[in-house]
Amino acid sequence: MIFNYTIMEKEIKKYIQWVIVSLMIIFNSSCVELDKDALDVLSTGSFWQNESDAKLALVGVYKSTGTDFWSSTNAIRMDAATDNAYSKDFNGWDDALSLEMTPENVILSSVWSAGYKKIAKCNNFLENIGNAEMDENKKREMIAEVRFIRAYQYFWLTNFFGDIPLVTNILDFNTANHVTRDPKTTIISFLYKELSESAVDLPTTRIASEKGRVNRGAALAMKGRLQMSEKKWSEAATTFKTIIDMGVFMIDPNYQNIFLEAGEKSNEIILAAQYLPTDYSWSQKGVLPSQYGGGYGTIKVVEDLVGAYLMKDGKAKESSPLYNPNQPFINRDPRLYYSIFLPGFTKFQGKTYQAHPDSTGGDQDRVPINSSSGYYAKKFIDESLGAITNYGGDIVLIRYAEVLLNYLESKIEAGNTIDQNLLDLTINQLRLRASVSMPIVTETNPGLLRDIVRRERRIELAFEGPLRIWDLMRWRIAHEKLVGKFYGMKITNDPSNYTKFEVNENGNVFVVNRIGMDPDINYLWPIPQSERDINGNLTQNSGY
């Protein structure tokens, strides 16, 4: 028996040892592949071949880079930098035009960064689109779109920062860290060329399935804005007239709707940043007062703006018999009701909006707690949805009403004769909007009309991105307007005997004291310190 076992053991031993040897060989025969490709991204080698690639890339260019001027992020909020509102919030715009602006300001660097990110995407597209084999007309149109998007970013960047690096091709990182600033004049000439040329290749209208893509009107409108910034008034007037003569845009009878999801397809909208519920959305919650679903009420509106809205008779509240200081919100320009939450007056989601200093309820604004003024922005807010974080309403960037006001301002500043026809073509179209129906303007004296138009712009365009800042800068009145005490809602009818909080002579509560600005310095923003830390070639604007 022992003998047999031994033989068997020997055989098995041999067998197992062969198994082992083969296993070792298998281990050694590299079954592991060291060439691993990324699994959920495309590789450049196979991209830029055809029209569908070009389209993917085009959409990628449109996608927001965050805090640029083509997004919801800065809509409404930028008015905190103006005499319309304030925020006193982290990342607030409050210091944008003030002595408190410093190169470390985070708004500043985020705007710069998002703008240049978008520009880099455009440059990348323009450098590669040549490789795609596709219909030449379509290609030309896409190129024009991307050139416009790039010009749009440069327009705002140079407006705020002055001289900036003009980058029109893809950089490597060493070059990017050593660029220098180009004079603003160079940027401006570049923009003229880009906007003029892209206007030619862009279609005048977009079919429904192309909604959101740039059209010719947008390119011309930006060109006109540029001419206004440069005070080339006659040229600006011509540009705006071209848009008017295209006949594709018109004033929407429903003012409120233009800023809501329901009115997104309005013919008044020339260009809007596109949003969709959930998939590509923004948060209404940040804007709403806390009474409605716990909104954060980040943008607090001041009495200075509320008071600027005319009375129903077309007169300022100071001179109109319709004004009742105890019921200040009745008989006002309806645009006030569409644009601002008015305490004790605005009905929203079936509840009257409430704010007062003696409020006890946790949800009602207790003015001036949390720096509340009692007024909040309401434009762009969809009442039917409330404090949601996944709102899909578009953000209007350029609309026809502004084009008409731009045209009128350019005509005034160009020294052209103003007649009733011109007024009826422009400002009175806004006044006669069905949902507004304010008395028409008949003033043709340019000096007097200028003030009317400026007030109309402030009312009509409140909270629409950078427009109020742009106006204050263009007119060079920011240093006069943005200084001293600002007030919120009226909290007492007996201001002289009221001691609880500081109030003005009308009983409006004191909310914020603006430190003011140095006109020789603060009309330009400083180059962000974070950029100068990296790139020693970037010089600083004077005074910072």
Partner 1 sequence: MRNINNLLAIASRSEFQQQEVTGKVTDIQTGETMPGVNVVVKGTNVGAITDGSGRYSINVADKNAVLVFSFIGYGIKEVPFAGKSIIDVVLERQVTGLEEVVVVGYGTQKKANLTGSLSSVNIESFQAKAVGQNLSAAFIGEASGVTVRQSTSSPGNDDAEIRIRGNGTFSSAGSSPLVLVDGIQQDMNNVNMNDIQSISILKDASSAAIYGTRAANGVILIETKRGKSGKMEVSLNSYVGFQRITEKPDFVDSWEYAESTNEALHNMGLGPQYTDEDIQLFKSGTSPDTHPNSNSFETFYSSGNPIQYKTDLAFSGGNENTTFRFSLGYNKNNSLVARAYAEDINFRLNVDSKLLENLYLKLNISGNRGFHTNPTSVKNGQWGFDPLIKTAYWYPVTLAEKNSDGTYNHYQGANVQADLDGKGYMSYWLDNIFVDPAIVWNILPELKITGEVSLTTNYNKNKFFKPKFTFSPSFSTSYAELQQQYSDNNLLTLRTIAEYSKTFNKVHEFRVLAGFEEEDFSTGNIHAYRNIFPNNSLFELNAASTENMTNSGNASEWAMQSYFGRINYVFNRKYLVEINSRYDGSSRFPKNNRWGFFPSGSLGWRISEEEFMNSLTSIDNLKLRASYGILGNSQISNYPYQRTINLGQDYPIGDVLAPGAATTVLPNELITWEKTSVLDIGLDFTLFDSKIDGSIDYFDKVTSDILYSISSSDILGLTPSEQNAGEVNNKGWDFNLSYQDKKGDFSYRISSNFSVIKNKVVSLAQVEKDIAKGLFVGESLGALYGYVWDGWFVDDADIQSYAPQPFVAQPGLPRFKDISGPDGIPDGVVDATYDQKVIGSTFPKYTFATTISASYKKFYISMLWQGSAGVHRYLRGMIGSAFHNWGPVQRWQYEGRWTEDNPDRYAVYPRFENSLKSIPVGMLSTFWARDASFLKLKNLEIGYNLPSTIANKLGLGNVRIYASGTNLLNFDKFPKGWDAEEEYGDWYWGVHYPLLSTTVFGVNIDF
| DSSP per-residue string spanning 435-501 | TT-PPPP----HHHHHHHHHHHHHHHTTTSTTHHHHHHHHTT-HHHHS-EEEEEEE--S-GGG--SS
Measured in degrees and rounded to the nearest 5, phi and psi for residue 303 equal: -60, -30
- Of 217-225, 310-318, 340-348, 500-508: span binding partner 1 (CB under 8 A): 500-508
Q: CA-CA-CA-CA torsion for 207, 211, 214, 218, nearest 10 degrees?
A: 90
> According to CB under 8 A, which one of 12, 250, 322, 330 is a site residue for partner 1?
12
Q: Which of 135, 363, 480, 520 binds partner 1 (CB under 8 A)?
A: 363
Residues in region 142-171 near partner 1 by CB under 8 A: 165, 167, 171
275 binds partner 1 (CB under 8 A): yes
3-state secondary structure 404-424: HHHHHHHHHHCCCCCCHHHHH
Residue 96 near partner 1 by CB under 8 A:
no
The binder of partner 1 chosen from 169, 327, 370, 493 (CB under 8 A): 370
Does position 5 bind partner 1 by CB under 8 A? Answer: yes
479 counts as binding partner 1 under rule CB under 8 A:
no
- CB nearer to partner 1: pick between 391 and 407: 391
Tell me whether residue 235 or residue 394 sits nearer to partner 1 (CB atom).
Answer: 394
Residues 175-214 that bind partner 1 (CB under 8 A): 176-177, 179, 207-213
Residue 500 Cβ vs partner 1, minimum distance, rounded to whole Å: 5
C-alpha separations of 107 from 68, 75, 471, 520, 528 in Å? 10, 14, 20, 21, 9
Radius of gyration of the chain (CA): 30
Any contact of residue 368 with partner 1 (CB under 8 A)?
A: yes
343 binds partner 1 (CB under 8 A): no
Query: What are the residues facing 487 on neighbouring strands?
Result: 510
Q: How far is the CB of 254 from partner 1 (least distance, A)?
A: 19
The reply on whether position 520 binds partner 1 by CB under 8 A is no
Does position 498 interact with partner 1 (CB under 8 A)? The reply is no
Residues 429-468 that bind partner 1 (CB under 8 A): none
For residues 402 and 225, the answer to whether their CB atoms sit within 8 Å is no
Helix (H, G, I), strand (E, B) or coil at 197: helix
Mapping DSSP onto H, E and C, the string for 364-381 reads: CECCCHHHCCCEEECCCC
Of 264 and 402, CB closest to partner 1: 264
Q: Can residue 7 be called a binding residue for partner 1 (CB under 8 A)?
A: no
State which H helix or E strand residue 351 sits in.
Answer: strand 351-352
Smaller CB distance to partner 1: residue 331 or 390?
Answer: 390
Non-local CB neighbours of 209 within 8 Å, separated by 6+ positions: none
Give the ranges where 309-370 is alpha helix by DSSP (H).
334-339
Give the interface segment with partner 1, choosing from 195-203, 314-322, 354-362, 428-436 (CB under 8 A): 354-362
**The one segment of 77-85, 222-230, 309-317, 363-371 that binds partner 1 by CB under 8 A:** 363-371
Pick 92 or 328: Cβ nearer partner 1: 92
Per-residue buried b or exposed e for 80-107, using 16+ beta carbons within 10 Å of the residue's own CB = bbbbbbbbebeebbbbbbbbebebebeb
511 sits near partner 1 (criterion: CB under 8 A): yes
Q: Is 61 near partner 1 (CB under 8 A)?
A: yes
When asked if residue 386 is in the footprint of partner 1 (CB under 8 A), the reply is yes
Q: Which CB sits closer to partner 1, 138 or 211?
A: 211
Q: Give 55-118 as a DSSP string.
A: HHHHHHHHS--SSSSSSTTTTTGGGGGTTTEE--STT-STTTTSTT--TT-HHHHHHHHHHHHH
**For partner 1, the closer CB: 117 or 184:** 117
Nearer of residues 121 and 332 to partner 1, judged by Cβ: 121
Tell me whether residue 22 or residue 493 sits nearer to partner 1 (CB atom): 22
For tokens 């129906």, the residue is: 437
Backbone angles phi, psi at 130, to 5 degrees: -55, -30
- Only one of the segments 130-138, 217-225, 408-416, 528-536 lies at the binding site for partner 1 (rule: CB under 8 A); that segment is 528-536
| CA-closest candidate to residue 449, choices 472, 476, 428 | 428
Which residue from 96, 61, 42 is spatially nearest to 468, judged by alpha carbons? 96
Question: Which residues lie below 8 Å from residue 399, measured CB to CB, with a gap of 6+?
Answer: 258, 268, 269, 270
Taking the C-alpha atoms of residue 149 and residue 121, their distance in angstroms, rounded to an integer, is 10
Kindly state whether residue 18 participates in binding partner 1, applying the rule CB under 8 A: no
Q: Does 500 bind partner 1 (CB under 8 A)?
A: yes
Nearer to partner 1, 40 or 505 (CB): 40
User: Rounded to the nearest whole angstrom, what is the least distance from the CB of residue 235 to partner 1 in the complex?
Assistant: 31
218 contacts 271 by C-beta, under 8 angstroms: yes
Candidate residues 200, 330, 369, 434; the one interacting with partner 1 per rule CB under 8 A: 369
184 vs 111: CA distance, rounded Å? 18
Judged by CB under 8 A, how many residues of this single chain contact partner 1? 126
Instruction: Please report whether residue 519 would count as binding partner 1 according to CB under 8 A.
Output: no
- 1 or 247: CB nearest partner 1: 1
**Nearer residue to partner 1 within complex by CB, 10 or 231:** 10
